Amino acid sequence: MITGRAPDVSVKILHALRNGEPPVQARLDLHGRLRDEAVRGMARFVAAARGRGARAALVIHGRGHNSEAGASVLRPAIWQWLSSPAAARAGVLAFASARPRDGGAGATVMLLRR
């Protein structure tokens, strides 16, 4: 499980995000994409979701079970991007592993700046 938040985002808001509040309004499925392609697409996805007024977005990266490397490739790459200044510039305020019904360890939910 992973979580992260900007300094001005309260722990209470992060807990709400982990519990499904606000509801997911945008989804990106990265299954089958190459690592670099997936990471490059994150900023575009966040910008498009924010442009549509989405407050929460879900990125489905999978767990790596079908990866040629035998381990997750996309998940750590996406988590690294989410922890970077690039994600903050794109408008990501907080992120957490998704609830089991939303993909669990195979997906990450993000809280987006308004």
One-letter amino acid at 61 equals H
Interatomic CA distance for residues 39 and 45, integer angstroms: 10
Give buried/exposed letters for 24-57 (b at 16+ CB in 10 A, else e).
bebebebeebeeeebbeebbebbeebbeeebbbb
User: Is residue 103 within 8 Å of 60, Cβ to Cβ?
Assistant: yes
Global pTM reads 0.89
CATH topology of domain 24-70+97-114: Ribosomal Protein S8; Chain: A, domain 1 (3.30.1370)
Rg (CA), the chain: 13
Interatomic CA distance for residues 27 and 51, integer angstroms: 14
From the number of C-beta atoms within 10 Å of its C-beta (0-12, 13-18, 19+), residue 94 rates as buried
pLDDT digits (tens), the chain, 114 positions: 789 999 999 999 999 999 999 999 999 999 888 889 999 999 999 999 999 999 999 999 987 666 666 667 889 999 999 999 999 999 999 999 999 999 998 999 999 998
Beta bridge partners of 28: 59
